[in-house]
Homo-oligomer: A and B are copies of this chain.
């Protein structure tokens, strides 16, 4: 029973996506026009349109008396409901969850963030924080989730849907300690497919989608509380054999010994180049730097000690990135995380180190740049994953990744 139903759902979903695309590209259409465009019978078209109307994905624009073809029902025109969320991206950070909702045009219609009730929140609390945030966005901006085509979820730590066992619904235990349960929770709340992956890896995909089709190979490092990363090779996100690909923060930076890392090793890149490590190093050198805002002030004044500390961190990251870049030969190396925006010298130093280490015969060298996606728009990476695994990725408009803060649209617009 399960497989035929799944196949039927897939066919229906594909028809729905084609219908939504037609409305997106051509504007409001009559049912007969939709049937012609989709190459379906009138009755099939009515069935699919009826489902989308019930979900609230499309609305009826009223009758078009002039256009009536003699007898029958009034020739209503169908249009996209601008307040209908079609895609939901959710990014679970260590302390905060970010969400972004895109409509059928892939434009962000609502976005927000919420901190967990406590730092040690378990998965059920984190998921509840996200659900409450989504309810609030519904109340404030009118966006609704009845017509979601899919949910993309980013989680911290090593994880990949590609490698995870297929989630099963276990009664009495909606989700456990693991990320699989998270996918299940979203899937049963929104009755839609969920794509779940490591959030830094999804950010790498977001940057690659944003960079455009000519960037086939991209190396992404995210510098924040920890140092993470992701690889795009030949236009595809690399998960690795055990789901751990891209963990560039845990390349050894100190040949032997070094500070203990939270991963259990010593001397990792993360122990020297994470944002807290950089701030601590500044303080060791007698510079008052507790927050990124402090660091920004020092950078603006070109504090020589802070400059040196940032260059050292850049060199550490650059050396690890160079080794991988020699092996992978990427088009772009992207340094993400707030510190990359606050302190351009960090990115400059990575670029200098990569240039110094690059293969001299190379006809071109990889571009090294700060990430376009801000930490706040992390949920967009999850959306990118979703579009990437959907047939819609082909016409995904890159503009939706613009770094401008998303402007929630009112339900009336």
- Which A residues are closer than 8 A to B by beta carbons? 158, 216-217, 219, 229, 231, 233-234, 236, 238-248, 250-252, 255, 263-265, 319-320, 322-324, 326-331, 357, 359-364, 366
Judge whether B252 and A323 touch: CB under 8 Å: yes
Judge whether A327 and B246 touch: CB under 8 Å: yes
Judge whether B234 and A238 touch: CB under 8 Å: yes
Q: Which of A233, A264, A359 has the most B CB atoms < 10 Å from its CB?
A: A359
Among B231, B241, B326, point to the contact of A248 (Cβ < 8 A): B326
The docked-state distance in angstroms from the alpha carbon of A65 to that of B241 is 58
The docked-state distance in angstroms from the alpha carbon of A251 to that of B326 is 6
Chain B residues with CB under 8 A of A362: 242, 244
Judge whether B252 and A319 touch: CB under 8 Å: yes
Chain B residues with CB under 8 A of A328: 231, 238, 240, 245, 324, 327-328
The docked-state distance in angstroms from the alpha carbon of A246 to that of B324 is 9
Chain B residues with CB under 8 A of A251: 322-323, 326-327, 357
9 nearest A-B residue pairs (beta carbon): A240-B329, A264-B360, A323-B323, A245-B329, A324-B327, A241-B331, A244-B329, A251-B323, A251-B326
Judge whether A158 and B247 touch: CB under 8 Å: no
18 extra interchain contacts, Cβ-Cβ under 8 A, other than A231-B327, A328-B328?
A216-B241, A234-B238, A238-B328, A240-B329, A241-B331, A242-B362, A243-B329, A245-B327, A245-B328, A246-B329, A247-B329, A251-B326, A252-B319, A252-B322, A252-B357, A255-B319, A320-B323, A324-B327
Among B244, B319, B360, point to the contact of A361 (Cβ < 8 A): B244
Among B250, B322, B323, B360, point to the contact of A263 (Cβ < 8 A): B360
Across the two chains, which residue of chain B brings its CB closest to A233? Answer: B233
Judge whether B241 and A360 touch: CB under 8 Å: no
Check A250/B326 contact, CB under 8 A, given A217-B241, A241-B366, A361-B263: yes
Judge whether A238 and B245 touch: CB under 8 Å: no
- For this chain, the copies found in one complex come to 2
The docked-state distance in angstroms from the alpha carbon of A263 to that of B359 is 7
Q: How far does the Cβ of A191 sit from chain B's closest Cβ, in whole Å?
A: 31
Chain B residues with CB under 8 A of A252: 319, 322-323, 357
The docked-state distance in angstroms from the alpha carbon of A227 to that of B393 is 40
Q: How far does the Cβ of A9 sit from chain B's closest Cβ, in whole Å?
A: 28
Q: How far does the Cβ of A357 sit from chain B's closest Cβ, in whole Å?
A: 5
The docked-state distance in angstroms from the alpha carbon of A328 to that of B239 is 8
Across the two chains, which residue of chain B brings its CB closest to A332? Answer: B241
27 A–B contacts, CB within 8 A, in A order: A158-B361, A216-B241, A234-B236, A238-B328, A241-B330, A241-B366, A242-B362, A244-B361, A244-B362, A245-B327, A247-B359, A250-B326, A250-B359, A251-B323, A251-B326, A251-B327, A251-B357, A255-B319, A263-B359, A263-B361, A264-B360, A265-B357, A323-B324, A324-B324, A324-B327, A324-B328, A328-B328
Chain B residues with CB under 8 A of A240: 217, 328-330
